Structure 1
Amino acid sequence: MFATMIRQMRYGAAVLRGGRLDPVNLRGTVADLRATIEEFGDPGEEASAMLPGGAEPDPEIHRVMADRRLRRTVQDAAAHVPYYRRHFAEAGIDPRHITLDSLAMLAPTPKSALRAAPSAFVSERSEPVLLAQTTGTTGTPTSVWFSRYELELAAALSAMSLLMVSGCRSRHIVMSTISSRATLAKTVVQQALAMIGAGFIAMGTVDPLIILDRLAAPLHVPGKEPQVTHLITTASLLGRIVQAAEEDGWLPADFGLREILVGGEVLSDPLRLRAEAALGARVIDAYSMTETLPTAGLSCEAGHLHLSSEQAHVEILDPLTGAPTLPGEVGGLVVTPYAQYRDTTLLLRYETGDLVRRLPDAETPACSLSAMPATSRILGRQSGGVRDLTTRAVLDVLQAERAIPLPTRFAVVEDPGGPLLYAVAGRAATPALLARVEERSRHLPLAGVVLVKDLDELPLPCPARADLIEHSFELPTEGRRPVRSGR
């Protein structure tokens, strides 16, 4: 008990001081938390205060701490990162003068700059050990270097979150269908689950028939649940899994799933509800990206996205003017991960490319995550360059129609009469379906809707992470369906 108290005090002191955290101490905290849960049961709501951003901060103290973390991050980047050293020199800015109030002096960092020269963002004081790349479904993959410190820190923080937010226990088995190219995500999750003692299955992005078969199959592993309990996937692959389950007659009772964690793409409400009904598990909409690790966001029961302000400085800026977005308006997420959590690839005011809506002043979160700053959930990108037409707005309309095949494929193009929405409807492309989609989309700034039968009929490509299918000899032969568990 005394050792536990000392570890918690060290963690709290390090957070307040703004210096490097001790991964060994954090792993000890995870072990303490796991032992406490195994002996006394699930922690109460007060246990969430251990997570970054879990305790409601005093506004003045929070601002002082944020300013201190930002100053250190900016000065570290200006002194040791080639890109920013040159940027500050060319702009004639003294990094010592950058504070929360003067941060706008520093131009945001575009994603294109990191993609073009990833090594230019690596601190000369770091010891890079892992090059992680994004999947590249929206363009050229982005490359980010990480140190052992960053990986160990991210794993420990993830273990704490999995224990307290997802209720993951040593008896559970987690299966990941994220692409095998997602090295960072798999490395961090595997290490986090090892601290918890939970099982981990790295399936990769394989055919949904194989995934359903694995989810239903009894495992007979000592000390573990009889089936996979947690699934990590992307929204588009989840769509393929759900459609395959519905077409082949799978029932929720065929699976042992407790939770499905979805990230990497926009998850619509219609797909979330459909997945919960088909697979019998709660679906969690999460947000994270390789470039801003370990900063991550969770969606609450009220539909907000909550991002920890202890790990990064988050701004919402107008995509056109770069000015702070007004309450109730849509803007782009711009993130500065603090040097306390990052020491290799350092990024200042990084433009994520993801849109959110700033909450109106009158909308004060009263949800379970209200201690953390909130925005709307991720809206995706602007479709067809139309300001108020986002990925989420389109998916909420199209995925409300079950006749439209999953994953949803669409494109928005400018027409002399206004924006046109093209959507792949397969054999369901009938006048009746078109009329329903037109009615559902009346609130969107569209001039019309066009339903096509095949993907190659779209005027623009529509890639999805579900397209990153990895070959496997497990694929059932044509005409044979996976064997159901019979539970």
Structure 2
Amino acid sequence: MFGTAVRQLGYAWSMMSGRRFRLRDVNALADDMRVTLETFGSPGEGADDMLAGSDPELQEDLTRRRLRRTVRHAAAESPYYRRWFETNGVDPGSITPATLSTIPPTSKADLRGMPAAFVSDRARPVVLAHTTGTTGTPTMVWFSAYEIELMSSMSALALMLAGNLRSADLWANAISSRSIAQILTERAVTRTGAAFVHLGAVDPAVALDRLATPMHVPGKHPQITQLNVTASYLAALVQEAERGGWQAGDFGLSTIWSGGEVLTDALRVRAEHTFGAQVRDGYSMTEIAPVGGRVCADGHLHLPADQGLVEILDPVTLRPAEPGAVGTIVVTPYSTYRDTTLLLRYVTGDLVRVLRADEQPSCALAALPATSRVLGRVSPGGLTTRDVLDVLQAEHALPLPTRWSLEGSLLYVVAGKSDAGLLGRLEERAHGLPLDGIVLVETADDLPAPCRLRADLLELSFERGL
């Protein structure tokens, strides 16, 4: 007990000071939590305080200190930011949350164009991660052993406390193997005592067979209980399950974790019915790790303030978005967690809507900053990805995963065949959106522009034995 208390104090000191964590403290805390759960079945009273929001005044002070350290590290160690501060004659020590806007936002193009310029001079890189590149050229981000170990152990704590992951669970990852999430999730899951299955982004029919097949692993549930997917791959699994006559009772899933793409309520409900499991929506991104968010029961995205400073900026002017307006998520990951690829005010391109004063959350996560769920990207006419998917995925006659594209204000949708009744229902549901019409096409090749989905990143060679 004394050792646990000391480790908790060390963890709290790092959280308060903004200095590097002692990995042995964080690792041991995760191990202590695992033992507690295996012994008593619950984490105990107050254990979830580590994941809760702190007092607003204290949080404001912590934000100032963490940001000051982060900016100083970036200005001293990163060639990109060192050049900017020297050229513009700005003292890194003068930057506060109120003056952070004097530093121009960092775009994806900046990072893609010269990734090495963002790597700290003092870094010890061990893993180069690539984004999937579904929305453009893949972005490269280096990570150190410290970052990987820290984020994995903290994720393990979160999975046990907020995700109810237990040592008897079987977790399957069905995401691209090139993602840093593959490494982090495997380490986090196995630290909880649960077993990890490299399912991979394989053919949906193969995935369903593996999800339904008993594993016969000592000390574990008979079948896979936890599944980690992207939203479009989840849609592909739902479609294949419905076509193949699979029932919820065929699976042992309790939780499906969805991220990386817009998840609609329609798809979530349909997946929960198909698999008999709760579908949980979240937000994360390789470039801004470990900053991420959870979607609460009320449909708000909560982005904790302890791992990075999050701004919601107008996507055009890059000035703070007003309440009720759509803005892009801009993140400065704190140097407490990041010591290799250093980023200040990184523009993710993911859109959310700023909550109005009359819609502030009252859920269990109300102490954490909140926005709307991720809206995706926006068209020149103001149509977001979520606007389109909310309309299309409410119609079960359309094939999954949903494929569409815009040409001006015309929405083209892959329907498989012409159907006047289907078109009429879609037009009715789309009433009020800035569209001049909907055009049904037979295949994705008939779309005026490619519809890129993470569900298309299949690793078929795994199944062919190549």
What TM-score, normalized to structure 2? 0.98
Q: Which residue of 2 aligns with 1:211?
A: 207
CA-to-partner distance for each residue in 1:434-453, whole Å, 9 max, x for gaps? 11101101121112111111
Choose the corresponding residue for 2:100, options 99, 103, 106: 103
- Within 5 Å, which residues of 2 pair with 1:402-481? 402-414=396-408, 419-427=409-417, 429-472=418-461, 474=463
2:110 pairs with 1:121: no
2:358 pairs with 1:368: no
Q: Which residue of 1 aligns with 2:390?
A: 396
Displacement of 1:196 in angstroms is: 1.0
Choose the corresponding residue for 2:163, options 162, 166, 186: 166
Within 2, Cα distance between the matches of 1:412 and 1:145? 35
Runs of 5+ consecutive residues of structure 1 not aligned to the other structure: 476-487
Displacement of 1:62 in angstroms is: 1.1
Kept in 1: contact 2:376–2:384 (CA 8 A): yes
Choose the corresponding residue for 2:331, options 320, 324, 335: 335
Displacement of 1:94 in angstroms is: 2.2
Q: Which residue of 1 aligns with 2:19?
A: 19
Q: Which residue of 2 aligns with 1:289?
A: 285
Q: Which residue of 1 aligns with 2:75?
A: 78
2:7 pairs with 1:10: no
Q: Which residue of 1 aligns with 2:346?
A: 350
2:371 pairs with 1:382: no
Displacement of 1:38 in angstroms is: 1.5
Within 2, Cα distance between the matches of 1:336 and 1:36? 34
Displacement of 1:57 in angstroms is: 2.0
CA-to-partner distance for each residue in 1:168-200, whole Å, 9 max, x for gaps? 111110001101121x11111111122111111
Paired letter, 2:235? G
2:55 pairs with 1:49: no
Q: Which residue of 1 aligns with 2:34?
A: 34
Displacement of 1:90 in angstroms is: 2.8
CA-to-partner distance for each residue in 1:142-193, whole Å, 9 max, x for gaps? 00000010000000011011111111111110001101121x1111111112
Choose the corresponding residue for 2:138, options 137, 141, 147: 141
- Within 5 Å, which residues of 2 pair with 1:226-375? 226-375=222-371
- SS in structure 1 at match of 2:209: helix
Within 2, Cα distance between the matches of 1:141 and 1:13? 37
- Residues 139 and 109 (structure 1 numbering): CA distance in 2 closer, same or farther, change over 3 Å? same
Higher mean alpha-carbon deviation, 363-372 vs 105-114, is at: 363-372
What TM-score, normalized to structure 1? 0.93
Displacement of 1:322 in angstroms is: 1.2
Within 2, Cα distance between the matches of 1:211 and 1:71? 47
Q: Which runs of 4+ in 1 moved over 6 A?
A: none
Displacement of 1:71 in angstroms is: 1.0
- Residues 222 and 325 (structure 1 numbering): CA distance in 2 closer, same or farther, change over 3 Å? same
- Residues 44 and 269 (structure 1 numbering): CA distance in 2 closer, same or farther, change over 3 Å? farther
Displacement of 1:370 in angstroms is: 1.3
Within 1, Cα distance between the matches of 2:174 and 2:87? 45
CA-to-partner distance for each residue in 1:256-275, whole Å, 9 max, x for gaps? 00100011111111001000
Within 2, Cα distance between the matches of 1:177 and 1:58? 38
Displacement of 1:473 in angstroms is: 6.7
Displacement of 1:48 in angstroms is: 1.8
Higher mean alpha-carbon deviation, 170-179 vs 361-370, is at: 361-370
Give the fraction of aligned pairs with identical amino acids, expressed as a percent.
Answer: 54
Displacement of 1:127 in angstroms is: 0.6
Paired letter, 1:181? R
- SS in structure 2 at match of 1:423: strand
Q: Which residue of 2 aligns with 1:482?
A: none
- Residues 442 and 46 (structure 1 numbering): CA distance in 2 closer, same or farther, change over 3 Å? farther
- Residues 108 and 474 (structure 1 numbering): CA distance in 2 closer, same or farther, change over 3 Å? closer
Runs of 5+ consecutive residues of structure 2 not aligned to the other structure: none
Paired letter, 1:470? E
Higher mean alpha-carbon deviation, 225-234 vs 35-44, is at: 35-44
User: What's the Cα RMSD here?
Assistant: 1.3
CA-to-partner distance for each residue in 1:50-78, whole Å, 9 max, x for gaps? 22xx1x32222211110111111111101
Within 1, Cα distance between the matches of 2:125 and 2:371? 33
- SS in structure 2 at match of 1:435: helix
Paired letter, 1:203? L
CA-to-partner distance for each residue in 1:409-455, whole Å, 9 max, x for gaps? 111221xxxx111111112x311111110110112111211111111
- SS in structure 2 at match of 1:426: coil
Paired letter, 1:41? G
- SS in structure 1 at match of 2:450: coil
Displacement of 1:89 in angstroms is: 2.5
- SS in structure 2 at match of 1:108: coil
Paired letter, 2:33? L
Paired letter, 2:42? D
Paired letter, 2:286? T
Within 2, Cα distance between the matches of 1:338 and 1:50? 17
Within 2, Cα distance between the matches of 1:49 and 1:90? 43
Q: Which residue of 2 aligns with 1:187?
A: 183
Displacement of 1:45 in angstroms is: 7.1
- SS in structure 2 at match of 1:146: strand
Within 2, Cα distance between the matches of 1:145 and 1:402? 42
CA-to-partner distance for each residue in 1:272-316, whole Å, 9 max, x for gaps? 100000011000111101001111111000001111100000000
Within 2, Cα distance between the matches of 1:454 and 1:246? 20
